[in-house]
Amino acid sequence: MAKSEMTQETHRPIDVQLSRLKPMLAQAASAGLDVSRLLSELGLPADVAARPDDATLSFADYYRVQNRLTLELSDETCQLSERQLLPGSTDYVLQHVGKASNLKAAMEEIARSYNLLHGGLFNRVEDDGITVDYVIDDVNFPYAMQFGDDHIYFAAESVLIFLYCMLATIAPAQASGGVVGLELRRPSRPDRSEHLEFWRAPLSFGSDVYRVKFDRTRALKRTDAPRTAPRTSAAVFRTILATIETGSPFASGAGEPVAFVVRRALDSGATEQSDVAEAIGVSVATLRRRLQAEGESFRSLRRDVLNAKAKRLLEAGESVTETASRLGFAEFRSFNRAFKEWNGLTPKAYATSGAASQRPQD
């Protein structure tokens, strides 16, 4: 039976041992790459490969090196697999996920796409009525023979982080805080397992498969990503770094107003203040205080974002009932009342006359 443990709930910086990075650097060197130059260009010491195995570097720097090597080696598996994944594979997957209506649908499309790319049924999605699970069965995966079990465990666990951040790029409000448990193939927690502190959910070891378990309610909640949200491998990489360094894919950058971060979360499908606070990684009280310090309130931000979304949907020809559902209203009457309070006319009246008169003229 798999053994379960709980990760730390509070975020803290994550470091990993250089022994985690050295197999990749050795692969790069054997492929003829100038590893010292590559490390220097990333702002890391050129002699990293020569340092003791138990020396550390930040987990974010690990991913920076990995991302660079995938480009240099023209292989998105970083030569972990005997079957090369050409650059652009992740972008290909993300393009096919674009029309997914919820997190579960996105997971299913990702599983299908990667099975095609890897040439085997290694990925699947399971729904037991309580959780929606992304499952990776790598027993027959064509791993490169030179890697030992520990490196493969670590690499697969890093893939789970990549998967989560891909989903957080597609549907951040649904994915962030939505993981309720993981099952890992590693027999037990290793002595040095700092990378597993990424997860704020129970971890089980000794499983036959890798499994990331999402809360089913979140996984089935409709996804309404902002039109301008980037869905590229570069965006996934940025999400990885943001989540590792801050604990949240929604974390604000230096000098970025909290109100802007809240708008981004709301625009991605979050509707309740508690959901937004959880996604950002703060308490509701802290979120309220920070907004007040900026002269904002959650209620006004939510109104503005929902109103803008409602107008876009109505102008695009969506019915009042469908618009109400997509915005998270329990039934269309409450949406009617809210829309009329915001705009002085009903959604139907706006759709038939108001929208046309308010559009810019050519």
Tell me the DSSP string of 292-308: HHTT--HHHHHHHHHHH
Regarding the domain with residue range 250-358, which homologous superfamily does it belong to in the CATH classification?
Answer: Homeodomain-like (1.10.10.60)
Query: For residue 206, is pLDDT > 90?
Result: yes
Question: Quick one: average pLDDT of 200-226?
Answer: 88
Q: What is the mean pLDDT of the segment spanning 296-310?
A: 87
To which residue do tokens 């493969």 refer? 152
- Judged by average pLDDT, the poorest of 8-12, 290-294, 326-330 is 8-12
3-state per-residue secondary structure call for 101-143: CEHHHHHHHHHHHHHHHHCCCCEEEEECCCEEEEEECCCCCCE
Q: What are the extents of the domains in the chain?
A: 3-220, 250-358
Instruction: Indicate whether this model's pTM tops 0.75.
Output: no
What would the pLDDT profile of 90-130 be if each residue is shown by its tens digit? Answer: 988 998 887 788 999 999 999 999 999 999 999 999 999 99
Please give the residue that has the higher pLDDT: either 278 or 36.
36
**179-183 vs 131-136, strand pairing mode:** unpaired
**pLDDT at residue number 38:** 87
360: pLDDT strictly greater than 50: no
- Average pLDDT over every residue of 180-194: 91
Tens digit of pLDDT for each residue in 36-70?
A: 988 888 888 889 889 999 999 999 899 999 988 98
Q: Hey, what amino acid is at 252?
A: S
Banded model confidence at residue 86, pLDDT cuts 50, 70, 90: confident
- Could you tell me the two tokens for 39? 């490390």
Residue 231 or 170, more confident: 170
